[in-house]
Amino acid sequence: MRITADRTRCEGHGMCEALAPNLFRVGDDGIVEPSTADSDESNHDLLRLAVDSCPVEALRLT
């Protein structure tokens, strides 16, 4: 499973980082960076929650 963040859509709300701080980080520029591009199945539910919680739909799982 691959995590992608659309840096042009991200507004730095930080919902993803609040829900999964080990998987996402909002940088000093206010834009999200996934901690890793790939994740294993054990994080699937948490990643789905973070993606679904993004108010500007900047996150995708592929």
Please give the chain's pLDDT, 62 residues, in tens.
Answer: 788 999 999 999 999 999 999 889 999 999 998 887 667 778 889 999 999 999 999 999 98
Please state the domain count of the chain: 1
Q: What angle do CA 17, 22, 23 make, to 5 degrees?
A: 70
Tell me which residue range forms the domain holding 8: 3-61
Cα–Cα distance for residue pair 23/41, rounded to 1 Å: 13
CATH number of the domain bearing residue 37? 3.30.70.20
**pTM for the structure as a whole:** 0.82
| Res 29: pLDDT | 92
Tokens representing 6 are: 């659309």
Q: Dump strand ranges (E) for the chain.
A: 3-5, 24-26, 32-34, 59-61
